[in-house]
Amino acid sequence: MSPTSDIQNPVDRHKFYFQFVTTPTADTPGTTVLLHFDNKRYLFGRVAEGTQRACVERGVSLKKARNIFLTGETKWEQNSGLLGMILTMADVAGDDTAEEKKTLGDIVIHGGPKIWHSIACARRFIFRTGMPLNVREADPKAWKLSQQPDYVDANILLWALPVERKMRRGSGDAMPNGRSASPSTIQREQNLRQKTVHDMFDSDWRKDRLTEAVFRDIKLPAMIWKRDPSTKDLQSTFCTKMEDAPYIDPDEKVLVRMPWPSALVTELPPADNLPTSVSMSYFVKGRPQRGVFLPKKAKELGVKPGPDFGKLSSGQSVTLEDGRVIKSEDVLDAQLPGYGVAVLDAQDVHYLPDLLQKLNNMQDAEILVNVHAFIWILGPGVLHSHGFSEFRASFPSVKHIISSVDDSPNYLAMDSFAASAARLAQIRPNVFTIPKHNNDTSGKDFYGDDLIQAQRALLLQAAPKFELSTKDIPEYVNIDAKVAEMSDETRSLISALETSGPSAEEFKDISITTLGTGSAQPSKYRNVSANLLHIPSIGYFILDAGENTIGQLRRLYQPDELEEILCNLHMIWISHLHADHHLGTLSLMVAHREATRKRAEAGNPVSHKLYLVSETNMTDYLEDYKSVESTDAVMLRVLQSQITDVNYQPVRLKDTTLPITRLDTVRVSHCQRAQAISITFSNGFKVSYSGDCRPSAAFAEIGKDSDVLIHEATFDDGMEGDAIAKRHSTIGEALGVASAMKAKNVILTHFSQRYQKLPTLTDVKPPNRLNFEEGGDANDPPGPIEDPALTENAVLTGDDLKQMDQAAHGAARVQSTSLPPALKHQTSLQEAAEQMSICIAFDLMRVTIPQIKDMYKYYPAIESMFEHEQFKSDERRGELRAANEALISARNKKGQDKVKAGEQKKKDKNQGGKSVSGTQTSVSDGVEE
């Protein structure tokens, strides 16, 4: 941060602007605003789920973004996309050059109380190196009015405004029983959270670093390494007690990997002694800007064109040959003040009184001078309240730009996916559906010149001239127009399809909805992993819940339908703790809590429980987070079919309200404690779900004769090397597992984002023999879910690293097994589907069990549709490229013409100013203007 002593020093003149990235919709529930400078970018607002995907859709680059200013309350609903955004920013920043690191700085999250805690809770599954992350928490109790900004850098001056919720006397938040709120206790606990976050992002821990220690002094359990004296190979033994390694003398020196720092923090202190009901708002101004350089005036003062012009225009003084000192202000136009904008957040009307009081104080202190606009982020009921009308009347000279859940239309925010979904719905309407939306703008009459409705891509230029621009606002997706763009070839393929009649199969009404089918990060066409299983006679079940699972559900179902699903949701299963499989879990649990509360208030309480079932790291994460926000879900730990409660006490299925007769899990080769699952329900239906993994014989065994197998198929065949390195499966390997399992139906999902629209449908190679790679022991040594890349070490050999890698991941057991000849060795996926009942998953695809087996009939039309989409996309890009090239060419020609005109003008002037004899003559009017 730059020192505040120079905050009034002007900088070079430049343009900067605010632009809306999201406004409230079903799958972008937050409002996020981008502040753009050419050298740096900043995010303001509620970074909710869907924000990152919206950035991808709108082409908003996060390359230069390092600061996030969170508005509103520290609640999951408002900041549910924060962890995913941090991961993306950290990965982007990892590619920075040394100069970029210096200019852009570390990642900094600005917000209210409990932000440190919220991030530290994620220590079990977030691990990065060399990318420091800092948090600036505002404390409303310590807030004092000051003309000195709370944050200063080369671009902006910013004042943070923590606002408290003011309600009737006696209705404030009570301090939990027995918890100390003394400053010393709070500081000690905050120090622990800060160190934890530091270790998550900037630790020097390395997986390949071993430390020498005496065996008896090592804290067990731990993985112990000893080098074989004859072969020199490292031998590893996982020891829960010293007797597990009888070949090692207690006083002998061995090698041990130091625990991952965050693994040492087994439990965080609750955050319930920190302030609650605090909403963050901000005032941000650009620095004052120098006036425009006036070359004519500089010449009049005797300054010669050249380097001295540059010095003066950049704010320096120059000394002339005659000793006179010319200051920059002598040759600059009037200085521009630091123009600014306020970003104000009020979830409900009870925040308005404190906000108004503090704004009035800031106005008296002249901090609001040159603040021309208030960007409002409003919760339900605030915009049309009497309190907001009074507030607005207190500041009549500024423009109020409103982003309110009350008035924002539920437009289709993910345009690219919506267009594809609309076309898919024409191909098989009983499987694919147009995402639910409305473009209702009937409330626009409420707005006017000084009250403006926010829209995505609305641009508010703050300097050098304050103005609003709507030129970048995209039109709402026109579904009919998108459908009309389908090619004649695709339409002919659709018309040739036969409609299936009613099915008499068992389990014919059971459906699986693939809510998210991509991997790693959300993309335009595929959100991250999530699946909804519906058994009509029993209820609903979620298998993995990547970020914005709730947004996908809101796009698929009407509000009353979604309420019914949530109230009949029995279980959420999380296969492992990679972020793309679980960051949507809390939103589901919060939505379930609100839906069941609504039912209870209506006198129709839900009798069964919602169970969150996963491994211990997931349940521990939710236990840590509950002091920020709690849910009513029951958490169960499961590892290799052993079910316990949060206190590790055994749990029997029959003692729960789960309509399940058998639940089996096995460790799979992917990451720490990753598991595949097989569930048999009370009606006899059996589903198996892989999560992410290499092919597993143990999984094939527990899933024997499954009615449906949902298996990851991250890579195409031919990319086996990538699959092995990243511990995923190819399409052929997934089908090999299905063959070994004798699964009746297969759904392939979790495709690499390189296959955003459609995986390759040719050259599928289900192997005759399959290399099964199994997960390790239940008691793996503690380590990060996402391991840093192995680095070279002078002491350890490549074989040593391989042995350590296998031990750390428990992936040492590999076996090759023959498969039944269910398929030809090499075929197309369509031909394979004719033989095996295979279905390729798409986002928001809802397929019943009988529909799986004939999905292959629709693949030619789907493939044709995507090929035509790609053709049109390439065509549009070509047209845009040609237009840009023409624009650049025109600009270059204009510049060349200007240079030529200048040269001609100079030539004419020289010729007109001299007679043939060299005597001075008058200059004609047409030469010098």
On the question of pLDDT at 778 being above 50, the answer is no
On the question of pLDDT at 135 being above 70, the answer is yes
Answer with the residue of higher pLDDT: 51 or 791.
51
Residue 363 structure tokens: 């106005």
Pairing mode of beta strands 467-469, 511-516: unpaired
What residue segments make up the domains of the chain, in order of their start? 15-166+186-202+271-286+336-469, 210-257, 290-334, 511-781+793-853, 864-905+923-929
Select from 178, 47, 176 the least CA-distant residue to 118.
47
On the question of pLDDT at 490 being above 90, the answer is yes
Q: Are both 15-166+186-202+271-286+336-469 and 511-781+793-853 of the same fold?
A: yes
pLDDT band for position 890 (cuts 50, 70, 90): confident
Give the pLDDT of residue 193.
96
Tell me which architecture the domain covering 511-781+793-853 has in CATH.
Answer: 4-Layer Sandwich (3.60)
Residue 184 structure tokens: 């010393």
Residue 554 structure tokens: 């809101």
Answer with the residue of higher pLDDT: 691 or 445.
691
Residue 719 structure tokens: 């990319």
Range of lowest pLDDT (301-315, 630-644, 652-666, 751-765): 751-765
Q: How far apart are CA 569 and CA 567, in angstroms?
A: 6
Give the pLDDT of residue 501.
65
pLDDT band for position 814 (cuts 50, 70, 90): low
Give the pLDDT of residue 816.
60
On the question of pLDDT at 413 being above 70, the answer is yes
On the question of pLDDT at 2 being above 80, the answer is no
Answer with the residue of higher pLDDT: 90 or 690.
690
Range of lowest pLDDT (354-368, 514-528, 595-609, 802-816): 802-816
Give the pLDDT of residue 493.
93
Q: How far apart are CA 382 and CA 388, in angstroms?
A: 6
Residue 195 structure tokens: 């160190």
Give the pLDDT of residue 924.
30
Range of lowest pLDDT (29-43, 183-197, 545-559, 865-879): 865-879
Select from 46, 33, 55, 94 the least CA-distant residue to 521.
55
Give the pLDDT of residue 768.
64
581-608: average pLDDT: 96
395-400: average pLDDT: 93
Eight-state DSSP code of residue 122: G
70-85: average pLDDT: 96
Render pLDDT for 562-591 as a digit per residue (tens, 0 to 9).
999 999 999 999 999 999 999 999 999 999
Q: Which residues contact 27 (CB under 8 A, 6 or more apart)?
A: 49, 50, 53, 413, 414, 548, 551, 552, 554, 555
Give the pLDDT of residue 81.
96
Q: How far apart are CA 140 and CA 168, in angstroms?
A: 19
Q: How far apart are CA 60 and CA 46, in angstroms?
A: 16
On the question of pLDDT at 90 being above 50, the answer is yes
**Amino acid in the structure at residue 564:** E
Q: How far apart are CA 524 and CA 85, in angstroms?
A: 16
Pairing mode of beta strands 340-346, 371-378: parallel
Q: How far apart are CA 592 and CA 562, in angstroms?
A: 10
pLDDT band for position 928 (cuts 50, 70, 90): very low
On the question of pLDDT at 555 being above 70, the answer is yes
Q: How far apart are CA 360 and CA 18, in angstroms?
A: 24
Render pLDDT for 142-159 as a digit per residue (tens, 0 to 9).
899 888 999 999 999 999
* CA torsion through residues 772, 778, 783, 786, sign: positive
Give the pLDDT of residue 168.
53
Eight-state DSSP code of residue 297: H
Tell me which architecture the domain covering 15-166+186-202+271-286+336-469 has in CATH.
Answer: 4-Layer Sandwich (3.60)
Answer with the residue of higher pLDDT: 420 or 227.
420
pTM over 0.75: yes
Answer with the residue of higher pLDDT: 314 or 518.
518
355-365: average pLDDT: 91
Give the pLDDT of residue 784.
56
518-540: average pLDDT: 94
Range of lowest pLDDT (31-40, 645-654, 713-722, 817-826): 817-826
Answer with the residue of higher pLDDT: 61 or 333.
61
Give the pLDDT of residue 467.
92
Q: Which residues contact 241 (CB under 8 A, 6 or more apart)?
A: 220
Answer with the residue of higher pLDDT: 364 or 168.
364
